[in-house]
Amino acid sequence: MASVEKRPDGKWRARYRPVPGGRQIARHFRRKIDAERWLTEQQSRVNRGDWTAPELGRITVNEWAETWLASKKTLKGRTYTSYESVWRTLVKPRWGDTRLDRVTHGEVVRWVAELERGLSPSRITQALLCLKQVLALAVMDGRLARNAAEHVKPPRPRKAEPRFLTHAQVHELAEACGQYRVFVLTAAYTGLRWGELRALRVKRIDLERGRIDVAEAMPERSLELDTPKNHKRRTVPIPGFVVNELEKHVQGKGSDDLVFTNSAGGMLDNTNFRRSIWNPAARSIGLHGFTPHDLRHTTASLAVSAGANVKALQRLLGHASASMTLDVYSALFDSDLDAVAERLGKAAEDWLRTRSAKVASVDPRRVL
């Protein structure tokens, strides 16, 4: 039973029981109108079905984040590490000591604006997503009635244009990289990711068929061998001249040996490789700022130039969907649109010529 009563001390007590037979909840106000408004709001929430027990939202975001992080344990090792890092370095310092029920939409908006002063849009998006997920889980658990961060928009990303090399530039870069010449050729003509290349073992290369079985990856900063991105194993073709280069490169290696290694025979490290080999080589031929990942973009460009369609490119690069491939490489297919326009125009011209010929062949006297 809900009620508003005046206490001996002059304050007004509003109370209600959200669940029949459950605990009674009460709050005290100086004015009767405030008590009535609060009671009406609580009853409306009960009727809508989004009422939550107030005490459940009184724990800190940091306390609840432990449950959220536990829910991420099923993810791939690097993905979990990324979530944990974003939480620890960006979200926890600002929200860790705040109670769940004290997080407001306005405060989240201000936090995002503060982050924009020193972080990239992608990093801010990661931080905001982290907070949104923590609060969304609290809503699912009945600790919050709504997610205060749900409708906060991240900053627009500054999308860098992909860089592509020509065949001549690929071979020039390969020569500049010296002992890693075959690494560059393999990366540029197969589209393997960095983590897939550094984890590639001899047994995964079928020299007779000209195929690489992409079954494993070792992402940078990861300590465990993992599956490729999106958990999708795939087989990629190897151009004949790269097959010949790989055949010579792996001579004397065992089936479980890494195809590409550092000077000590261990797994390649991105930072050391770029500092010692890649960056000096790229600068020496005028490719300042060109990255190993740009070779993957180069694969896409060269493949499309050779006639690959969207689905073929998707399979080659291991994208989750063809739409993702188009999101990144739509500009590469402009020539396809030109070809479509050309074929449409030719079909229309053929029809017009046929129509004109039919009209001209009609005997004017028969028409009269």
Q: How far is CA 15 from CA 10, 12, 35, 151, 331, in A?
A: 16, 10, 9, 32, 63
How many angstroms separate the CA atoms of 183 and 181, rounded?
5
Residue 273 has a pLDDT of 93
Q: Which CATH class is domain 58-140?
A: mainly alpha
pTM of the full predicted structure?
A: 0.60
Looking at the chain, the number of H-run helices and the number of E-run strands are 17, 6
Sign of CA dihedral 9, 11, 12, 18: negative
pLDDT digits (tens, 9 = 90+) for 51-97: 666 677 788 999 999 999 998 887 777 778 888 999 999 999 999 99
- Whether the CB-CB separation of 17 and 23 falls below 8 Å is answered with yes
> Within the chain, which residues score under 70 in pLDDT?
1, 18-22, 46-54, 159-160, 221-224, 230-231, 334-341, 359-368
Residue 245 has a pLDDT of 95
pLDDT digits (tens, 9 = 90+) for 107-129: 999 999 999 988 889 899 999 99
Domain-by-domain residue ranges, the chain?
Answer: 3-51, 58-140, 167-320
For 167-320, CATH number?
Answer: 1.10.443.10
Residue 368 has a pLDDT of 47
Residue 323 has a pLDDT of 82
C-alpha angle 158/305/289, rounded to 5°? 40
What are the φ and ψ backbone dihedral angles of 122, each rounded to 5 degrees?
Answer: -65, -40
